[in-house]
Structure 1
Amino acid sequence: MPGWLGYAHGPYAERRRMKPLALFAAALTLLVATGSASALTNRLKDNPSPYLALHADDLVAWQEWNPQTLALAKKQNKLIFLSLGYFSCQVCHKMQREALRDPVFARFLNAYFIPVLVDREIMTALDYELQAYAMQTQGLSGWPLNIVLTPEGHPLTAVFYQSPKQLLQSVSYQQLRWEREGKTILADARAATDVRLAYTPKPVRVTPVVARKYRDQFLLEVFEHADTYRGGFGSDSKYPMAPQLDTLLELQRREPDPRLEKYLRIWLDWMADQGLYDHVGGGFFRYSSDAEWRSPHCEKMLGDNALLAMIYLKAADIFNQPRYRRIAFGTLDFIVAGMQDSKTGGFMASTSALDEQHRPGAYYQWNKDELKRLLDAAEYSAVARVWGIEQRAPLAYGYLPMNRLAPDAGEAAKLESAYRKLAEARKQRTLVRDVKLLASLNGLALQAFSQAARIEPRYAATARKLRDFAVGTLWQNGELAKAMSKGRLIARGELEDYAFLASGLVAYAELDNGKQDLLVARELMAAAWRDFRTANGWKAQKRSLLAGSPYLALVDDGPTPSPSAMLIGASLRAGDAALATQGQKALERGHEILDSGVFWHATQVKLMQPAK
């Protein structure tokens, strides 16, 4: 399993050390000193993407990623500096403050590169391709991801967060190489592209024996890296890993195993009890920077929360644990209260970790004086013991609600009343949101609310309103929009959008017995198979601007499930023979990839298992 589970957040994400270079200092001094002012200007003002609009005042002359920008790079024979991030990425904001508004760095970048900024949630296919490149070359992936490309669009190098000095060293080294060895670099990049394009997947029929082989291999890889004491994987940062967790639950449902049950319940309990879950307002944070789930980065993502709501609903059923159902409902209630766009019924992409003063996590933290002022003596006593607040505050702005110690019955009642008071007090604080409404993540939300409505009818109205927005606004004239922001539709849908929304509509049709919704879902699936699947494999988008972008035998799971696997799964459930045949044939491809490791293909492995 390469890297640390593929996520490279934080100031230590970039693990390499740049090798000393002869003449480096002299070359850098010369380049900075002689760089003339660029004719480029920052083109991000009033951009509908909140992330791009946030960078409109950067000193870097940001361009958008489109054919015109690529043509400009070719015309000027300049390397492209392409940076991918997203609105709620705490480390992306850190890089912006430190490097992207640094006059020396900006002057150099504007003079010698074509700078391009990308909202990875709008261009998820491009992000996928470049994250795969970063994983192959660096053993890591994550955000912010900074890629240097040739003018033709060949990736040359990838770095993550770096200080202004380090980032300037990285890009100036690439520019110096390009100036001296450009023809050789381009020839090597073209040759590497030819190798990638030579791959053609071969079919293997999915028999029970084949399915069992990949099931056993998946469990082996899981337990090689499992933290069996606190759940999740590894002994460093912890992520929910929703696709892997969901597949493990499905395997447990089909074939109960005491060892797996123990691990899953530890994992689910630690996420829900410690700091990853917002005990006051519901919902889960993006990830935790420690192994105990107690130091979360406090952005909340729509996709994570929709997936985790479904996971806890499933776990409640498998393990007969009503508490897990309460966690799921609390998460869905947060999505409605904290992320719903009142005009459309759609859901916003994320809430930021930063408050109105740009303090990470401060919105969710409480100091002792605030707690004593807001709570009565009995409530404070319960909070003090359960949170462990007699110890020194572990976070920058106080204490984060969590169950460091398990509450007894009396304390549980006091905590409940305390959390109601804290929730009311928190209304006086301001939290920044990414207001764009993504087709893909709203598809996951539709699936989650449709599943929940089968248990709790009050969620049916939310599902219906979301369905109306998706079908009535995002899906028009046989074309799916990627997103809506500030009243404007943004970009064309990619594989992820079609697959996730189709899955959501199938779930809604199952809830409502809606034949029309099933027909729309089938239309989405048919369009996805037509536009994103070929005899050579998958395309994440209709047309990539990257040079020699290869077809993919399989699309990996990431924080959200593999879009190709989601499309296969929806096609097998759609009640349409032609779609089911396409899905079954796709399951027969890419086995040579699975043979080298299945951890990042958990959703594909789940679909292979025989129905029980």
Structure 2
Amino acid sequence: MTSSASRVVSLTNRCADSKSPYVRSHASNPTAWQLWSPETLALAKQTNRLLFVSIGYSACHWCHVMAHESFADPRIAQLLNEHFIPVKIDREERPDIDRQYMDFLQATSGGGGWPLNVFVTPELEPVFGGTYWPGPGSERARMGTGFEQILVKLAEVWKEQEGRVRENGKRIIEQLREFAQEGNLREKGQTEATDELDLDLLDESYVYWKGRFDSIYGGFSAAPKFPTPTHMAHLLRLGSYAPEVREVVGEEECVQARAMAVLTLERMWKGGIKDQLGHGFARYSVTKDWSLPHFEKMLYDNAQLLPLYLDAWLATKADSFLEAAHDVAKYMTTEPMLSSLGGINASEDADSYSTPIDKHKTEGAYYVWTMDEFKAILSEQEVEICSKYWDVRPDGNIDPRFDAQGELVGQNTLCVKYEIPDLAKETGLGEDQVKRMIQDGRQKLLAHREKNRPRPALDDKIVTAWNGLAIGGLARAGAALSTPSYISAAEKAVTCIQQHLFDSTTNTLRRVYREGPGETPGFADDYAFLISGLIDLYEATFNDAWLSFADTLQQAQLRQFWDAEKHAFFSTPANQPDILIRAKDGMDNAEPSTNGVSASNLFRLASLLNDDSYATRAKQTVATFEVEIGQHPGLFSGMMGGVVAAKCGVKGITVVGDGPAVQALLRAWKASLTPGYTLSRVGDGEGSAWLRGRNELLKDLDGRREMVQVCEGGVCRLLGVQDVEGLFV
């Protein structure tokens, strides 16, 4: 086979051709970045070079560090351009490629993260990978292996041992394929899904999270600490399932599960991970006490935290959780996150300039403060109160161990360290006076920040899946909190997707919109998350146009991603040429699992539409992951609702009429945690014509009478409105 050294090609940087802000940010690099395209993959084969695939995203801090240290360095660029085909990918546009090579990295190194850098053969088989590697001249490179040494070694190995490298790559891919298929029912000799999984799995899931729980700071790991919204949502709702679930798990255990989630949400709300002056939450905390965030703000995190804090408020009626739900909703529905098209933008960067005249961005510059700044902006008494309240210290409150680049020396993250009554008692002031000083101080600091500090860069991509998560959260919050503007924002986001990311001739979605719809088709999660959001929006508005759209998308998802032989949903469409492994997403990570959300969607649609085929697919989806769930129930929180639905069923409640009793029932629904139920509404004043045509159980209901119809498994009974009081608790 011809060596890569004999194939000479002149490359030029192609990043300016991309619509991705992340990829475009590398357009000035001397590295001759190529885009992931059929032409680039063909070029790798023609030149017989390894591809160096670098995957990141716009808000990623360490992506910026590596770009500055390495990709802008002439020596590194020379090595990449002469010996490799360097390719830059936005992981938010191509999560399938990211997933494929992240699985490789985690399987071979036990870790992962971004930037994700991997060397792959011209046949796309991975041979070596890592995350951040130190660039030339950095202190970390002098202390160990730097990126330059890795490039020299890989070029040498490919030149001298190409056959062995290719053989290793093929073996790795085969192992990853086998791993992706583990637990499949077909592997166990079963061709049909079992009827239902055992409810004991919910107890085992609770035990798993109890064993990981940090009883002091909340959360379920040491540093770094992530919010894990899907897992906390499961713990919050555990006590709201059917009585047979609570009997299996235990009433005391259900109470403790909720308490773990509540404590975690309280600590997050008071921590540096929360923007204490503005709105929204950062990606995660690098410290176990939530004090020092990794400052990027992602839509998919905030979109999941909104319904989570809403659930916490519904469960506890604590004012702080109500405030938190409004805070996150406002973050997503105001500039800069709200797009002029009605969709919601992807993220804000971790790095920014400290002042408008700075030439170098630093991490957290928009959010951190010095004591001198407090003294310059606030009154003397406000400094005393606000510095205590937010733990602002003269020498800074950031532990140097977590400041790898020395950018945060003397700086403070704002974390709530005092309760108002305790602070009032310590300072000898009244509680109202202390509260007013904190409010005034917040406004002064926020005004200073907005006037004097450049806001972090915005990634203004509209990602279909993430907008789906946001639509669901906004719809539920708008209904429960009687805030029509949130529902309106959700409806506008759907309209944006329909106009710019949905092809009505094929009923298919696109993944991303920026300067026009992207070329990448929607993935299974784009369909799943949007369908879920549409169902929530229907139950908030009872406009069956949203339910009709969900039904259309559900059929499209089944058509493109359903595994007819072994069941459940693949993440990617069939016959995709640049994907080596067609995987199924079952475990929850930063985003909920596609199959967990899909199973929930199918159960809910089956109930709302009286469609047995959807219920069958839902049960098959959950059962496909039976082995993995049984082995690691704590990692499949998103599937637990499906486990319950398969065992206990889903009750479909249809409300008819518009009198005071009906309105009271609807208010009770909106103010409760209601797993195991769906709600529809028909009547003269409701947009229910499509629904009544789709669900034959509803076609004969008289919209002029007040009544409630409860259906389960195709069997219905009519009740008076008063007969279902207390159903929603």
**Aligned partner of 2:581: which letter?**
S
Equivalent residue for 2:158, pick from 165, 178, 181: 178
Distance in 2 (CA, whole Å) between partners of 1:183 and 1:342 is: 50
Distance in 1 (CA, whole Å) between partners of 2:220 and 2:493 is: 34
Q: Deviations over 1:244-290 (max 9, x none)?
A: 11222122433453432332222111100111111211210111111
Per-residue deviation, 1:194:
4.2
Are residues 518 and 547 of structure 1, via their aligned partners in 2, closer, same or farther at CA, if it must alter by over 3 Å?
closer
Per-residue deviation, 1:83:
0.9
Equivalent residue for 2:66, pick from 91, 95, 117: 95
Are residues 134 and 217 of structure 1, via their aligned partners in 2, closer, same or farther at CA, if it must alter by over 3 Å?
farther
**Which residue of 1 is the match for residue 534 of structure 2?**
505
Counterpart check, 1:467 vs 2:507: no
Distance in 1 (CA, whole Å) between partners of 2:122 and 2:395 is: 53
CA radius of gyration, larger in: 2
TM-score by length of 1: 0.89
Q: Deviations over 1:537-566 (max 9, x none)?
A: 5422224445631443x4332211012221
Distance in 2 (CA, whole Å) between partners of 1:88 and 1:196 is: 29
Are residues 430 and 518 of structure 1, via their aligned partners in 2, closer, same or farther at CA, if it must alter by over 3 Å?
same
Per-residue deviation, 1:140:
1.2
What is the DSSP-based 3-state SS (H/G/I as helix, E as strand, rest coil) of the residue aligned with 2:438?
Answer: helix
Counterpart check, 1:433 vs 2:458: yes
Counterpart check, 1:424 vs 2:447: yes
**Which residue of 2 is the match for residue 580 of structure 1?**
615
1:158-197 to 2 correspondence within 5 Å? 158-164=129-135, 166-194=146-174, 196-197=176-177
Equivalent residue for 1:481, pick from 510, 515, 519: 510
**Aligned partner of 2:435: which letter?**
A
Counterpart check, 1:457 vs 2:444: no
Per-residue deviation, 1:292:
0.9
Counterpart check, 1:220 vs 2:207: yes
Counterpart check, 1:523 vs 2:552: yes
Per-residue deviation, 1:323:
1.9
Q: Deviations over 1:286-326 (max 9, x none)?
A: 11111111111111111101111110100111223232111
CA contact (8 A) 2:468 2:526 kept: yes
**Which residue of 2 is the match for residue 279 of structure 1?**
276
Distance in 1 (CA, whole Å) between partners of 2:539 and 2:16 is: 43
% identical equivalent positions: 26
Per-residue deviation, 1:585:
1.2
Distance in 1 (CA, whole Å) between partners of 2:43 and 2:514 is: 28
CA contact (8 A) 2:463 2:512 kept: yes
**Which residue of 2 is the match for residue 41 of structure 1?**
12
Distance in 1 (CA, whole Å) between partners of 2:16 and 2:119 is: 24
Q: Deviations over 1:560-584 (max 9, x none)?
A: 1012221221122123412232122
Are residues 330 and 489 of structure 1, via their aligned partners in 2, closer, same or farther at CA, if it must alter by over 3 Å?
same
CA contact (8 A) 2:7 2:48 kept: no
Distance in 1 (CA, whole Å) between partners of 2:436 and 2:479 is: 29
**Which residue of 2 is the match for residue 567 of structure 1?**
598
1:203-282 to 2 correspondence within 5 Å? 210-254=197-241, 255=246, 256=251, 257=253, 258-282=255-279
Q: Deviations over 1:34-59 (max 9, x none)?
A: 99985111111142100000011112
CA contact (8 A) 2:629 2:635 kept: no
Counterpart check, 1:590 vs 2:625: yes
**Which residue of 2 is the match for residue 297 of structure 1?**
294
Equivalent residue for 1:549, pick from 557, 569, 581: 581
**Which residue of 1 is the match for residue 320 of structure 2?**
323
Distance in 2 (CA, whole Å) between partners of 1:252 and 1:312 is: 16
**Which residue of 2 is the match for residue 539 of structure 1?**
570
Are residues 195 and 286 of structure 1, via their aligned partners in 2, closer, same or farther at CA, if it must alter by over 3 Å?
closer
Unpaired runs of 5+ residues, structure 2, are 136-140, 399-407, 422-430, 649-675, 677-729
Are residues 391 and 269 of structure 1, via their aligned partners in 2, closer, same or farther at CA, if it must alter by over 3 Å?
farther
Distance in 2 (CA, whole Å) between partners of 1:413 and 1:402 is: 18
**Aligned partner of 1:279: which letter?**
Q
Distance in 1 (CA, whole Å) between partners of 2:223 and 2:637 is: 22
**Aligned partner of 2:49: which letter?**
K
Counterpart check, 1:405 vs 2:412: no
**Which residue of 2 is the match for residue 26 of structure 1?**
none
Distance in 2 (CA, whole Å) between partners of 1:65 and 1:353 is: 25
Are residues 195 and 374 of structure 1, via their aligned partners in 2, closer, same or farther at CA, if it must alter by over 3 Å?
closer
Per-residue deviation, 1:587:
1.0
Are residues 104 and 530 of structure 1, via their aligned partners in 2, closer, same or farther at CA, if it must alter by over 3 Å?
same
**Which residue of 2 is the match for residue 4 of structure 1?**
none
What is the DSSP-based 3-state SS (H/G/I as helix, E as strand, rest coil) of the residue aligned with 2:589?
Answer: coil
**Which residue of 2 is the match for residue 57 of structure 1?**
28
TM-score by length of 2: 0.75
Per-residue deviation, 1:590:
1.9
Counterpart check, 1:388 vs 2:415: no
**Which residue of 1 is the match for residue 303 of structure 2?**
306
Distance in 2 (CA, whole Å) between partners of 1:231 and 1:479 is: 41
Are residues 421 and 252 of structure 1, via their aligned partners in 2, closer, same or farther at CA, if it must alter by over 3 Å?
farther
Distance in 1 (CA, whole Å) between partners of 2:176 and 2:133 is: 29
Moved more, 256-265 or 495-504: 256-265
Moved more, 377-386 or 98-107: 377-386
Distance in 2 (CA, whole Å) between partners of 1:215 and 1:162 is: 41
Distance in 1 (CA, whole Å) between partners of 2:71 and 2:118 is: 15
Per-residue deviation, 1:187:
3.0
Per-residue deviation, 1:81:
0.8
CA contact (8 A) 1:355 1:361 kept: yes
CA RMSD of aligned residues (A): 2.4
**Aligned partner of 1:438: which letter?**
V
Q: Higher RCO, 1 or 2 (CA under 8 Å, sep at least 6)?
A: 1
What is the DSSP-based 3-state SS (H/G/I as helix, E as strand, rest coil) of the residue aligned with 2:327?
Answer: helix
CA contact (8 A) 1:538 1:555 kept: no
